Structure 1
């Protein structure tokens, strides 16, 4: 657990600190009190952050904590899962957008390499994003499986679209050219 207090100004430093902690997957119990599961990496990162807080003329305390009973521990784990589920929910929404884009391109028969490349870039962003979320999913959030399945669906959809692009390209290359 990290507890900290930093000066309100400059706000950008306080916000950067909050973003860094959230980016590590920390759960806030209240302002200035956050938790991460105890690992060597988290301990090292908390110590680095403690140093940054000191440079900001702030105060911090690092503690190793234990829940008093299983119900308290489950409350904390539920907070971690809820944070990840919010991220997974947003991810799943972006998968829906990706699927809609492929469906639209297929419907209008827009089978070009440029469109395939654009969609491939979008799929790589989805893959990278899911990897980031999964790295912070310390307690296997409820939507983890659904998110992974949706990504697999997007990958299969892009593969099918790519086949259509290749077929369209082969067809256009094999058509006799009309001369005037």
Structure 2
């Protein structure tokens, strides 16, 4: 935790993508918005997105800028910036976006554990159910990994999401043991 606190107190250099895309067709705007969201970018204002600087973010934003400039009427500039004032607000906005994603993961993990409990209460100990739940947990882990990869500023919600995933793993392990026991007990 100390490393996270130190990291947060250091000034963050930001990459800013300022772009303009014609309003029609709207799919172009939506596509850019989806790409920026997938990268974890936050909007500083309309058509100005920010990411903490790192090589991966820079490559992605350079590629996106190139795509925007190829659009009919599209323009884009990629800037490197240090906040002279309001830097903590940017960090807070960035971490809030990650925490919202982590909160969603925690919620889905609760649903996962509830599903395991429901199947256990119904004694629905089948390999098919085990496989389905294992796939669901794999998806949750993949989602967490994607969010964690873009969590470059140590959002506080990460710990709760990691703990929720551990609880899912524990629940699935218990369910698997019950499936194996039911298989052994079967005539």
TM-score over 0.5 for the pair: yes
Residue 94 of structure 1 pairs with residue 120 of structure 2 = no
For 2:96, the equivalent position in structure 1 comes to 82
For 2:168, the equivalent position in structure 1 comes to 154
- The farther-off stretch of 39-48 and 163-172 is 39-48
Larger Rg: 1
SS of 1:28's equivalent in the other structure is strand
TM-score (norm 2): 0.89
Residue 17 of structure 1 pairs with residue 50 of structure 2 = no
Question: Mind listing any 5+ residue stretches in structure 2 that lack a counterpart?
Answer: 1-15
SS of 2:151's equivalent in the other structure is coil
1:2-36 deviations in Å (ceiling 9; x for gaps): 11110001111110011101111111011100111
SS of 1:36's equivalent in the other structure is strand
Alpha-carbon distance in 2 for matches of 1:58, 1:170 = 64
For 2:9, the equivalent position in structure 1 comes to none
Question: Mind listing any 5+ residue stretches in structure 1 that lack a counterpart?
Answer: 176-180
- The farther-off stretch of 122-131 and 48-57 is 48-57
- Per residue, is there more strand in 1 or in 2? 2
SS of 1:64's equivalent in the other structure is strand
Residue 110 of structure 1 pairs with residue 124 of structure 2 = yes
Alpha-carbon distance in 2 for matches of 1:50, 1:105 = 48
Residue 62 of structure 1 pairs with residue 115 of structure 2 = no
CA shift at 1:78, angstroms?
0.3
Alignment of 1:10-49 (within 5 A): 10-49=25-64
- The farther-off stretch of 97-106 and 34-43 is 34-43
Alpha-carbon distance in 2 for matches of 1:43, 1:169 = 52
For 2:6, the equivalent position in structure 1 comes to none
1:59-113 deviations in Å (ceiling 9; x for gaps): 11111111114xx111100011010111111111110110110000111111111
**Runs of 4+ with >3 A deviation:** none
Q: Please report the RMSD computed on the Cα atoms of aligned residues, expressed in angstroms.
A: 0.9
- The farther-off stretch of 87-96 and 41-50 is 41-50
SS of 1:88's equivalent in the other structure is helix
